[in-house]
A = this chain, B = another copy of it.
Amino acid sequence: MDRKWVTMGDVARAAGVGKITVSRALRTPSKVSADTLEKVQKAVVALGYVRDETAGALSSQRSRVVGALVSTLEQPVFASTIRGLEEGLSAGGLQLLLGSTRYQPEKEALMVSTLLGRRPDALVLTSSDHTEDTRRLLSGAGLPVIELWELPETPIHAAVGFSNRAAGHDMARHLIASGRRAPVFLRTDRASDTRADMREKGYLDALEGHAPRIHSLPPREDQGGPDYGAEGLAQVLQRWPDTDAVICVSDALAVGALCEARRRGIDVPGALAVTGFGDIDVAGAAALDLTTIRIDGAAIGREAARLTLAACDGEDIRGRRIDLGYQLIRRATG
């Protein structure tokens, strides 16, 4: 299974030039004569040479790798973010080293340190809730850090996202304005899901005299699919039978809650409004037609890639907060 890799020296010998010339021919072709360039390119093809980027990283102190951490890949919106990020970065010649934290700050701390071991040129974090350890590591590392999906007051360096609080507020406001009297906020109770926390805060902001009703489902291994939402609605109705709206913290929960409501013969949206968050692709399908908040995940990723490339280019990105907003999509369920 083992084979020696072709090295730059091999290519140099084959092309009859010095190896530094090979390096230049590949990295900065403009600094090499057309003649030499061709010889080198021929030798590269003939030998099937692939440059060892790790060696290059060591000597140039630039790895051309960006570390990224997501809470989970299994929510399609995050997957879209990663796609946008990957596309943007690879266009700029950067590669993506990926990890997931599963909403656990301790896991994040571990992963950050693992990623730093690869000496990435930048770090992208899909979260803004970090342990003290993480913050210390990051501030000591001296590399650009970009936070996504939230807009903290004082980001570590820069952030790309939207206001979860405002979004939660708008949704609650919308329901109250259309006559709902007893809206419930349904969420999972993960220890550190700051996005859910902020949406909940927004919900509370919007109540204006209505009684706050927050129902938290205990965290589970799976990330909270529709089954969980169905269960959640059952609990909510038992706890507050007069509920007339359920604001779910995610579309997955909302789909479950909606189906459970229909199963029980509850009139949606007549007797009960159900709303989601994220606008996953099935949310708009006719059988569901869910009212929700649309987030453009891919755009967040693309914007993050733009910022990253700028930072790698030496630009100072500290303090930048890019708000990409959200959109309340009013459909049939509320």
**Which residues on A are within 8 Å of B, measured CB to CB?**
1-3, 5, 48, 50-55, 57-58, 63, 65, 72-74, 76, 79-80, 82-83, 86, 90, 95-100, 113-119, 136-137, 140-144, 225-227, 230, 252, 255-256, 258-260, 262-263, 281-282, 284-288, 316, 318
- For residue A50, which residues in chain B have a CB less than 8 angstroms away from its CB? 113, 116-117, 137, 141
Contact of B230 with A255 in the complex, beta carbons under 8 Å: no
Considering the complex of A and B, which 10 residue pairs feature the smallest CB-CB distances, nearest first?
A3-B142, A259-B286, A225-B281, A53-B117, A73-B79, A226-B285, A259-B285, A259-B287, A98-B98, A54-B54
Report the bound CA distance from A83 to B75 in whole Å.
Answer: 12
Report the bound CA distance from A250 to B55 in whole Å.
Answer: 43
- For residue A82, which residues in chain B have a CB less than 8 angstroms away from its CB? 73, 98
Contact of A1 with B282 in the complex, beta carbons under 8 Å: no
Report the bound CA distance from A287 to B54 in whole Å.
Answer: 51
Contact of A287 with B262 in the complex, beta carbons under 8 Å: yes
Contact of A117 with B52 in the complex, beta carbons under 8 Å: yes
Copies in the complex: 2
Contact of B76 with A282 in the complex, beta carbons under 8 Å: no
- Indicate whether A226 sits within 8 Å of B1 (C-beta atoms), given known contacts A58-B54, A83-B74: no
Give the residue among A100, A285, A316 with the most B Cβ atoms within 10 A. Answer: A285
